[in-house]
Amino acid sequence: MRILITAGPTREYLDDVRYLSNDSSGRMGYALASAARSAGHDVILVSGPVHLDPPHGCDCVFVSTTEQMRDACVSRFSECDGVIAAAAVCDYKPLNRVPGKISKTGGPITLEMIETDDVLAELGRLKGSRWVLGFALEAANAIENALQKLRAKNCDWIILNGPAAIGAESNSVEVLDVSGRVVTSFSGPKVAVAGHLISWLGDNARQADRG
């Protein structure tokens, strides 16, 4: 298969030197890309800013903002059999980016925020006969929220994990399908979890409900 994988965080700039982001290390997405290559798949890796070496043999596209990630994914998705959306993209960005650097004024400032592009939802709309495997990081009502995300974004499966995964070396995940069933689960170092997920995906991707 040829697999599109997203990884890492995105950044949304307040001015030319400050930005909003999150603590995603990119380890899960990079581990998935490496495992997919080891399993013989072709990989297009679209990565936000991380401190990791690119997995050997991947076609890597490096981006910073959510809009850049969306554009890179949309432009390459037609080449692929499916996507694993492991990136932790910013959900909001400042309405206006200030040129230069915001100076101190001695008082508070107010930021007006708007939603960013929904990368996963866009790929779900475009998927056609391709499969879509999303990630959901949930802290409360985890399964309910993950299923809502799966259905709203037209995924075939969603991988549920928790806040403890951010920046960590290990992860514990459950894979949910469109019926709401937990079809499999894995725990351990992210490299091992990635290997299990890619093996499971290889057995199940061609049976996805592509309605």
| 44 secondary structure, DSSP code | E
Distances (CA, A) of 87 to 20, 96, 166: 15, 24, 11
List beta partners, residue 176: 158, 182
Closest CA to 14 of 103, 106, 119, 108: 103
23's enclosing H/E stretch is none
Neighbours of 133 (CB within 10 A): 25
Residues in the chain where the model's pLDDT stays below 50: 209-211
> What is the pTM for the complete model shown?
0.92
List beta partners, residue 2: 42
Catalytic residue among 22, 145, 154, 161: 22
* Per-residue exposure over 148-180, b if at least 16 CB sit within 10 Å of its own CB, e if not: ebbeebbbbbbbbbeeebbebeebebbbbbbee
pLDDT at 206: 66
Q: pLDDT tens across 46-101, in order?
A: 999 999 999 999 999 999 999 999 999 999 999 999 999 999 999 999 999 999 99
Hey, what domains does the chain have and what are their CATH numbers?
A: 2-93+112-207 (3.40.50.10300)
Q: Indicate if 22 belongs to the active site.
A: yes
